Amino acid sequence: MNICCIGAGYVGGPTMAMIAKKCPNISVNVVDINEERIKAWQSDDLPIYEPGLYDVVKESLNRNLFFSTDIDSAIDNADIIFVSVNTPTKTFGEGAGRASDLQYWELCARRIKEVSKSDKIIVEKSTLPVRTAEAMERVLHSDKSDIHFEVLSNPEFLAEGSAVEDLENPDRVLIGGHDTDSGQRAVNVIVDIYANWIPKNKILTSNVWSSELSKLTANAFLAQRVSSINTISALCEATEADVTEVSHAIGTDSRIGSKFLKASIGFGGSCFKKDILNLVYLCETYGLNEVANYWQQVVEINDYQQVRFVRQIIQRMFNTIAGKKILILGFAFKANTGDTRESPAIKICRELYAEKAEIVISDPKALDNAKKDLIDLENIKYEQDPYKASKEADAIAVLTDWNEYKDLDYKKIYDGMRKPAFIFDGRNFLDHNFLFNIGYEVYSIGKGHQSHLD
């Protein structure tokens, strides 16, 4: 069996590497228009950072896992084509700022139609608006040739930072197909691939539309939990309740559950915001304005939480941060990834910059991306070593929950800072009493301030 995957990004690369590892008898060809990315997949310096990914790729590379820019040959030779290209938010025209930009996806559909000489199963791996498969089928079957394309939906639920673990042992895999003989045959082919390492009871099947919509819904529900607890964090700060205690108390209710209940500066990453906005747009398209407004609020609370964090920094530092040195500890949108797409750090740094703060950014994996994100801001400093970066700083803003930040020598850092030394924990994960006892002015989301000055 021969698989082609179009799109060698955060999803295409890891998912195909896992299929190749678990199914040595299947030839997996990952193709992309981005030559630099393809070269990086073939090298020792992979284009994305994910714990454990290097070993998974190396195990199958050039055995049954191949990366190439020869898209046409890979399509032509494939029995199954996974389409895993980017589907960002549209920035122009109808639906700008909310709808999915499907131009990359449509280009793929047209290429597949043009190059294919035999029947193929086409699998939507990208996250797409519900009923996209219908449009894909129209493009693929537009010239009335005898070639049959069976379009399935198999959305990806991996989370960046734990992609390998998620792929190896997922909560579930979802495969949507049409309720026709050829649809069900195609679904079974994909089920059999995953069944090589995933228990059958974790492989769910559904109709195509349910599968497409489930992905948007899953992300919307996850993001909604983050925004929900973040609204409560603001109320905790006003009332001296402690959001960690509230999270724990409500999370132990098995109907609620404990995950995604951590107050913070909010969610980031390439998916949550774009997928909720897409859901909002879809609801509006179907005339469901109340439903659209409901989900829109999840995004707005996320923005509010970041603005609120910056406001706290300014207020606490005597209502001015002009000329003050602020160390940004962590720029990635979450720990264990170098990805900075939609990272809350971008907005927070821009707001601090507008207040004329002197910004130094430190991150173990994301500095290259941070430089690109803030390329238009002058005089931002980037320093991998947090100790060097903190010299003479007035404040530290912790924006990513990298585990290693728990183990820093905060006494040593405190000694090198200007006084009063402030620390703002945007991830609510440090030992705040310990920091306060060192001498820091401490702020954490949902707990408020601990000050030696009041």
Ligand X SMILES: NC(=O)c1ccc[n+]([C@@H]2O[C@H](COP(=O)([O-])OP(=O)(O)OC[C@H]3O[C@@H](n4cnc5c(N)ncnc54)[C@H](O)[C@@H]3O)[C@@H](O)[C@H]2O)c1
**Which of 4, 18, 20, 108: binder of ligand X (CB under 6 A)?**
108
| Residue where the block lists tokens 């199914």 | 23
Instruction: Enter the tokens of residue 389.
Output: 């970066």
Under the criterion CB under 6 A, does residue 230 sit at the interface with ligand X? Answer: no
- Helices 272-285, 289-316: inter-axial angle, 10-degree rounding: 150
Q: Is the Cβ of residue 87 or residue 227 nearer to ligand X in the bound state?
A: 87
Under the criterion CB under 6 A, does residue 8 sit at the interface with ligand X? Answer: yes
Catalytic site includes residue 271: yes
User: Which among 153-161, 300-308, 342-350, 406-414 is the span making contact with ligand X, rule CB under 6 A?
Assistant: 153-161
DSSP string, 159-189: -TTSHHHHHHS-S-EEEE--SSHHHHHHHHH
Query: Smallest distance from the beta carbon of 272 to ligand X, in angstroms?
Result: 10
Under the criterion CB under 6 A, does residue 268 sit at the interface with ligand X? Answer: no
Using CB atoms within 10 A of its CB, is residue 322 exposed (0-12), middle (13-18) or buried (19+)?
exposed
Under the criterion CB under 6 A, does residue 7 sit at the interface with ligand X? Answer: yes
Under the criterion CB under 6 A, does residue 37 sit at the interface with ligand X? Answer: yes
Query: Smallest distance from the beta carbon of 286 to ligand X, in angstroms?
Result: 21
Q: Is the Cβ of residue 84 or residue 211 nearer to ligand X in the bound state?
A: 84
What's the CA gap between 226 and 446, in Å, rounded?
A: 13
Under the criterion CB under 6 A, does residue 158 sit at the interface with ligand X? Answer: yes
Query: Smallest distance from the beta carbon of 74 to ligand X, in angstroms?
Result: 10
Under the criterion CB under 6 A, does residue 363 sit at the interface with ligand X? Answer: no
Residues of span 410-449 touching ligand X by CB under 6 A? none
Under the criterion CB under 6 A, does residue 26 sit at the interface with ligand X? Answer: no
Say how many residues touch ligand X, by CB under 6 A: 26
**Which of 9, 338, 344, 448: binder of ligand X (CB under 6 A)?**
9
Strand pairing report for 2-6 and 80-83: parallel
| Residue (of 312, 335, 333) closest to 405 by Cα position | 335
What's the CA gap between 80 and 54, in Å, rounded?
A: 25
Cα distance between the two ends of the chain: 70
Q: Is the Cβ of residue 86 or residue 444 nearer to ligand X in the bound state?
A: 86
Under the criterion CB under 6 A, does residue 85 sit at the interface with ligand X? Answer: yes
Q: How far is CA 236 from CA 120, 233, 283, 445, 448, in A?
A: 55, 5, 33, 9, 8
Return the active site residues: 271
Query: Where does this chain bind ligand X (CB under 6 A)?
Result: 6-12, 32-34, 37, 71, 84-87, 104, 107-108, 126-127, 156, 158, 160, 270-271
